[in-house]
Amino acid sequence: MGVNKDRMLAGEWYLPDDPELAEDTARRFALCAAYNAGGGAAPADRERILTELLGGLGREVRVRPPFQCDYGYNIRIGDRTFVNFNAVFLDAAPITVGADVQIGPNVQLLTPAHELDTERRRAGWERADPVTVGDNVWLGGGVIVCPGVTIGENTVVGAGAVVTRDLPAGVLAVGSPARVVRRLTG
């Protein structure tokens, strides 16, 4: 692996315009384009593309196109998860989505963070922190999950929420930034 890819995967500052990462991006672009264009393709063909694109794909996963990601190989999706239209998973760090998760339309799972120093930001430096979504979570339409966030199992995040900090298991969270409004039962 190249130095920048190693740094990226280690959660360190890296430059994303590295030639090796550009190859990974070209691979992802081709696979996402094939997946997103294959609306009439047989389910087995669509699953084959997702299996090649993603780092891990559970059983009976449904992802509605269009779907976009940075690399794909850092994404793992658990059994019976549903991902609705226009999902964006920026996976410079691992994105782990549990089993039986419901992801609404226009949801963004974001791992990259950019440098606050103006010169380093202009030079293109970034780093990434993992995103983890527990089993049986529901992310409403338009939810944005920021770098480094873990969402506990059985949690519901209301439409349009921006999740900037970890959420515990079994709660309802809404708003920007998302805040817990109550515990969920059963």
Task: List residues with catalytic annotation.
Answer: 114
Q: How many residues does the chain have?
A: 186
* Sheet strands side by side (includes 56-57): 56-57, 75-77, 95-97, 131-133, 150-151
The three-point CA angle 71-62-29 to 5° equals: 25
Other C-beta atoms lying within 10 Å of the C-beta of residue 115:
15
Tell me, rounded to whole angstroms, the distance of Cα 146 from its chain centroid: 10
For the chain, the distance separating the N- and C-terminal CA atoms, rounded to the nearest angstrom, is 46
φ, ψ (nearest 5 deg) of residue 148 = 80, 5
